Structure 1
Amino acid sequence: MITNETIVALSTPPGLGAIGVIRLSGKDAIAITNSVFSGKNLLAQASHTIHFGLIKDGDIVIDEVLVSLFVAPKSYTKENVVEISCHGSNYIIQQIINLLIRKGASAAKPGEFTLRAFLNGGLDLSQAEAVADLISSDSAAAHSVAMNQLRGGFSTELNVLREQLIHFASMIELELDFAEEDVEFANRGQLQELINKITLVLNKLIRSFELGNVIKMGINTVIAGRPNAGKSTLLNALLNEDRAIVSEIAGTTRDTIEEVLNINGINFRLIDTAGIREATDAIEVIGVEKTMQKISQSAVLVYLFDVVNISATEVRDDILSLHKPGIAFIAVANKMDLSYSDRLKELKLPSDISFISISAKEHQNIEDFKQLLYEIAVGDKLSDNHTMVTNIRHVEALEKTRAALNNVAEGLRNPVTSDFLAMDIKQALHYLGLITGVVSTDDLLENIFSKFCIGK
């Protein structure tokens, strides 16, 4: 899959800016750049040096630039890499790229620089995918998880498991060579212990995906309740800005409003919804339908009720209709600045529902509510500092590995011949290898790297 072509692309975001960085990678990257560079002879310069000069198309000066050299294998892609820092004019950038292509470079495909880093042994596949996660990280937690994976935390854990499995696979393969002598080189008891140990690790990694995925994507948090409960006021209070229209008229919010709130490094995707009630017109029908759809897709449901103008029976009825398994539920009594204490005593909420009273209008207990949101969604799950899975491809491979190991365990409980054990162990090794790229196909790589931005 590696070609001898030298590739080129803009590595900074397109659009006006102070500078643009154009990256080349390949055997001829330095030679091609040198052919259009007026300054020092780049072919004679050391790696990791920067040189000032001009990019010229014949006698025409395109721009004054800085050229950074990274001589193979001391580069991101393990090939010769050049980075040209020019002024951020779209015209200048395109002129330089077109000139480099005329001199022999080819336009890079999405993710091709990172693909070359993987194919040349600079990164394994899970680390390469972490590059994309790092670029798109928009919270401290997402950044931390991506950095851990990029630095090999996930890969190291998987490689230890593979090495242990490979040892037993080789012992069983050896048994097959001496099948006629009916000998066992692989201790079945130790193999069972290893399977139990690996399965515990796999279970931990698979369970971590639930939190890892929401850290990467943000936590869908729906604010639902009856009209005039104060949902839009609460959204504005959480964001500390007037994002949603607030009115005494019931049903002001007819469509969903979505904003991001960062709490302790975690992004909560807040969704303010239309009030839940019998719709009075076609538009409101759509609004209520959207509300119910958003509730079904949420990770956290905030049920907000007006403690003054709703009965305990109505609150319980709402909770029974909205409460769904797998969705964290917080009941929030709004307008605590008014009279509420007697009514709250009547609620008797289910034990798995968290409760807090606030005043969205007066900003009372808003910070406590934010902390409760965080505790419900994350709690102390980040404090263990363990490897976290954020990629659906990885968790699917881990589940298939676990299934293959279950087959090995079944073969040990109900003894089967060594060739069947070897087959199931090889299957487990195959699925583990898919994660780090020890096992890969062109289709898999194309699917992964096509989602990267061009220039990375």
Structure 2
Amino acid sequence: MIHQLHPIAALATAPGIGAIAVIRVSGEGAIALTDKAFRGKKLAGQPSHTAHFGTFRHADRGDGPDTIIDEVLVTVFKSPRSFTKEDVVEISCHGSEYIVRQILTRLTDLGAQLAKPGEFTQRAFLNGQFDLVQAEAVADVIAADSAASHRAALSQLRGGFSKRLKDLRQQLIDFVALVELELDFGEEDVEFAKRDQLRRLMTNIQGVIRPLIESFAAGNVIKNGVPTVIIGKPNAGKSTLLNALLNEEKAIVSEIPGTTRDVIEDELFIDGVRFRLIDTAGLRDTTDTIEALGVARTRQQIEKAALVVYLFDGQSTTSDELQAMVAELDASGKPYLLVGNKVDLMPAPAPPPGRAYSMTRYDDLTEADGVYVPSPIIWISAKDAHIDELKSALSARARTDAAMQTGSAVVTNARHLQHLTATDEALSRAVAAVDAGTSADWIAMDLRIALRELGELTGEVTTDDLLESIFSRFCIGK
């Protein structure tokens, strides 16, 4: 059943001066209300999904030019064939802030209320246009600033994992009804819900839920960017590399070791993936108090990073030093790239990738010499901005993550993670109870929890506080 609430109005396009602005009106009587200020065709008699040119006018609907606010194009969407499933009118006018204010004032004078943040999407959800996961994805689509985050948001907007979870939840409801029926016949020791079938269903649901839970770390990276920390010894060229990647003078560059003493961050997009680049203080032992704090912060950033770029000076770094750093990076468990800098200052031929060298001789040492480095080395010249191979390596490294693959359902929302985790825990307790032959009342208790958590995830079980919290984060007009 479609619920047409009181009409609301808001600017649907970004605020500010532009060529065109779009004002959206939705709710009971939205078309008739707009008709009172629109001079052109009678909107109420027009088919849905049609656009009509005319003028939008002040209260005095005479023919004088002073009564006209603007020439507009009005598009009519009749219930239920609209975004909110209510009657909707979209008024396209010139993008003057004055004109927008005048039209909104006229609409409110006629009885419309100014929409709250997310109120249009909230009405669409309440009218069954989509579930709560899809509703939240609307905001994510709007906020998407990379190809990866756009793909993830669009997947959820189109149903993503929520449709499958709803189907499994319905099957679980059917079993819970049988378990509850057993409780009504507790004294007769009957079993309506076959325990092997119930157990199979619960493990099937966990088989869907657990990969989604595991995807959150990668999903968070997609939504917020890949935290990529650039580390190395002082004067390895970290700040120069940051400037080259960003194509701007973001960090101070100096021949004096220890110039960078704090963390410098900025963002870079490579092949549709957002990287949060973090330049850090050089790693070395120091008696300088401020520099020591910078080194400590570098260690902290390594812990938080999803990817580490270890930059070393190709002129002065020895194989032993490089191997020691490789061992430390391997022990950290963090994905990393080895990047040799200042190749422009190294005599030809330049070292090939994958082989560590005595950086003062460049003799091709063998594995028997004990200096083979299994991770390929990317040789660059940060000063000359010869960094294309590094950009390609960063993109390739990010795309090896399953979350970057378009076919994978990914959780990017902390609320979703919370409900999925609680569902999995409740089902684990219920499975253990079934295996132990526990009575139906204990099994039913955990099944109810699982159903509630799944319902709150998709919006089949909601509270006013939950909806207020979710939709208040949307922009006005959406």
TM-score (norm 1): 0.91
The Cα shift of 1:276 comes to: 3.5
**Deviation for aligned residue 1:115:** 0.5
**1:181 shift after superposition:** 2.5
Most deviating of 190-199 and 422-431: 190-199
- Mapped contact 1:211–1:378 kept (Cα < 8 A): no
Change (3 A) 1:443 1:347: farther
Q: Residue 377 in 1 paired to residue 398 in 2?
A: yes
CA deviation after TM superposition for structure 1 residue 413, in Å: 1.5
Tell me which residue corresponds to 2:408.
Answer: 386
Task: For residue 343 of structure 1, give the secondary structure of its aligned residue in structure 2.
Answer: coil
**Match of residue 466 from structure 2:** 444
Residues of 2 paired with 1:384 and 1:75: CA distance? 29
How far the C-alpha of 1:314 sits from its partner, in A, is 4.6
User: Shift of the alpha carbon at 1:321?
Assistant: 6.8
How many angstroms apart in 2 are the aligned matches of 1:108 and 1:427? Answer: 35
Q: Which runs of 5+ in 1 are unaligned?
A: none
Which residue does 1:412 correspond to in 2?
A: 434
State which drifts further: 163-172 or 439-448.
163-172
Which stretch of structure 1 is more off in the superposition, 73-82 or 281-290?
281-290
Letter in 2 for 1:367: D
- CA 1:310 to 1:449, structure 2 compared with 1: closer, same or farther past 3 Å? same
Instruction: Give the Cα separation in 2 of the matches to 1:87 and 1:287.
Output: 52
Matches within 5 A, 1:41-60: 41-59=42-60, 60=67
Are the structure 2 counterparts of residues 324 and 431 from structure 1 closer, same or farther at C-alpha, using a change threshold of 3 Å? farther
Alpha-carbon distance in structure 1 between the residues aligned to 2:319 and 2:13: 57
For residue 217 of structure 1, what is the aligned residue in structure 2? 224
For each residue in 1:315-367, what CA deviation from the matched residue of structure 2 results, as whole angstroms up to 9, or x when unmatched? 5666677777453233322223416753276886897x775333323455x33
Worse-matched range after superposition: 301-310 or 142-151: 301-310
Q: Which residue of 1 aligns with 2:196?
A: 189
1:19 aligns with 2:34: no
SS in 2 for 1:18: strand
TM-score w.r.t. structure 2 length? 0.87
Query: How far does the alpha carbon of each residue in 1:9-29 deviate from its partner, in whole angstroms, 9 at most, with x for none?
Result: 111111111011111111021
The residue type paired with residue 212 of structure 1 is G
Write out aligned runs for 1:255-294 (5 A). 255-277=262-284, 284=291, 287-288=294-295, 290-294=297-301
Contact preservation (8 Å) 1:29, 1:80: yes
Letter in structure 2 aligned against 1:49? T
Of stretches 423-432 and 239-248 in structure 1, the one that deviates more from structure 2 is 239-248
2:31 maps to: 30
- Unaligned regions of 5+ residues in structure 2, if any? 61-66, 360-364
Could you tell me whether the CA contact under 8 Å between 2:10 and 2:115 is conserved in 1?
yes
Deviation larger for 189-198 or 316-325: 316-325
Judge conservation of contact 2:319–2:358 (CA < 8 Å) in 1.
yes
Look up the match of 2:422.
400
Provide the residue aligned with 1:358 in structure 2: 380
Distance in 1, Cα, partners of 2:290 & 2:75: 58
For residue 162 of structure 1, the aligned residue among 142, 150, 169 is 169
- Match of 2:63? none
- How far apart are the structure 1 equivalents of 2:307 and 2:34? 53
Q: Against the structure 1 CA distance between its residues 354 and 413, is the aligned structure 2 distance closer, same or farther, given a 3 Å change threshold?
A: farther
Aligned-partner Cα distance in 1 for 2:420–2:370: 44
Counterpart among 355, 358, 368 of residue 343 in structure 1: 358
Aligned to 1:90: 97
Which residue of structure 1 lines up, in the alignment, with residue 121 of structure 2? 114
Query: Structure 1 residues 132-141 or 315-324, which shifts more?
Result: 315-324
RMSD between superposed Cα atoms in Å: 2.7
Deviation, structure 1 residue 83: 0.8
